[in-house]
Amino acid sequence: MSRAPLRIGIVGGGIAGVGLALGLSRHDHLDVQLFESAAAFGEIGAGVSFGPNAVRALAGLGMGETYVELADRTPAPWQDLWFQWRRGEDARLIGETYAPGVGQSTVHRADFLDALARLLPDGLARFGKRAVAVRQDAQGIQVEFTDGTQYHGDVLIAADGIKSAMRDEVLKGLGQPPVAPRFTGTCAYRGLIDSERLRAAYLARGVDTALIDMPQVLLGLDAHILTFPVKHGRLINVVAFFSDRSTPDPQWPAQQPWVREASRREMLDAFAHWGVAAQTILECIDAPTHWALHDLAQLPGYVDGRLALIGDAAHAMLPHQGAGAGQGLEDAHLLAHLLAEPGLTGAQLPEVLQVYDQLRRPRACRVQQTSWETGELYEMRDPRVGDDDARLGATLATRYDWIWNYDLADELARARSALGWPAAAASAQKQALAMR
C-alpha cells in the first residue's frame, strides 16, 4: 500500500519561501502548500545580490535558468569583479575584490520573485493567509490564520521574514524569551540613476566614467556608498549608508516606518563633506528613499519539533556582505533535499529539523556577526584595520571567500550522515547537485 504524501506547509512567499516550495514541488510524493499574507507575491527594494554560494543554491533548487535569464552581471572585462573599494573624499583606489565566475551578480527583487512564482504549480500558493499561532503534537502540526482558517500538516517551515510571527512560537517552544527586530543605528538612502545621466554628470565634473561600469564602494568614517549597474547597465543602483554611533543601544521610534520618502537635500546634507564623485552620484538621485536598517540577535534555536525557521525569520542581518538572501537560499537548499528523501515519515521530521538546525545555525550566525563587522570595516571602525588603505585593501580582497566557497553538497552529506542515512545515497545526491 502506498503511503499518504508528506504534508509540508511553508509560511511566507519571499525568495527563500518560494525557493523552498519550488525545490519541493518537483517531487510527486510530497504535498506542498505555501501561504502568503499579501494578496500576491511581492518584494520591496531595488536589487538583491547573490554570491557564488547563493548562485549554487539557486541551481540546486531548480532556479538556475531563471536566475541567469534575469541576472545583471558586470560587463567584460570586469565580469569577475565584485567591488572596487575607493575613498569617499577623493575616489582613490584602495583595492578590489573578485568573485570568479559570478562577479557582481544581482537581480531586481520583484522581477525575480515574479518569475519564480510563475514556475510554481497551480494551486500550490494561497494568498491572504497571515499565520498567527501554531499547535503541534506527535501526529502533526496545525497553523491558524487571521481569516479563521487552519492548515494541518506534517511539518511547517516559516519563511515569514524579519517580522516573523512564527519566530516567537519557536522560541516559546524552546523556553526562550521572544526576539524582536532591533534597530542597528545604520540608515541608508537608496535610489536609481539613469546610467547615461550619471555618465554626463561625471564628464562635466571630470570624474572617471569607468566608475559607472564597475561596481564601486566609496568608504568613509561612519558612512559608505555603493553603486553597481542593474537592468543590463541602463540604471545604476545606489545605496548610501550612514551610521549614528552616539549611543550603544540605538532605538527606532515605534511609530515611525522603517522606509519613507526623503528629499535630495536631506541626503546631500548627510554627505556634505564627501568628495566630488560621491556628491555627483547623490545629486543625480531625484527621489531617494530612506531606510532604517534592522537585524536580529543570534537566536538560540531555529527549530521546535515540527516547526522550523528559515531566511530572515531566523537570521536577518545587515546587508554589508551581500549575504542575507544567500543564507536563506542555503537554508532552503538543505531542507528541500532532506524533506524530499524517499521513505521519510512524519515521525522522523523532528530529527531531520534538528539536524538542519545543527548545521545551518552556526554558519548563519557567523554570517550575521561578520555582516555587522564588515559594516564597521567599511566605516573605518575596525580596531585592527582602522583607516589604513593598505590594510583595508588586503582585508577586503579575501574577506568573503569563506562565505562564497561553502560546499553545499558537503553540507548535505554531513546532514545525511548525522541522520544515519546511507552514504551511497549521499554520493549520488552529491553527483546530482554537481550536475545542476
Which phi-psi region, left, alpha or beta, contains residue 4 (left: φ > 0; alpha: ψ -120 to 50)? beta
β-bridge mates for residue 237, sequence order: 192, 228
Nearest to 250 by CA among 372, 137, 134: 372
| d(C-alpha 321, C-alpha 89), whole Å | 23
Query: Which residues are within 8 A (CB) of 298 and not within 5 positions of it... i.e. 6 or more apart?
Result: 315, 365, 368, 369
Q: How many CB atoms lie within 10 A of CB 333?
A: 28
Residue 394: exposed, middle, or buried by beta-carbon count in 10 A (0-12, 13-18, 19+)?
middle
Catalytic (active site) residue 205: no
Which H or E run includes 141? strand 140-145
Cell numbers 541626503 correspond to 267
| d(C-alpha 323, C-alpha 314), whole Å | 14
Identify residue 191 by its one-letter amino acid code.
G
List 87, 109, 190, 361, catalytic entry? 190
Q: How many CB atoms lie within 10 A of CB 285?
A: 21
Nearest to 328 by CA among 99, 116, 72: 116
- Residues labelled catalytic: 190
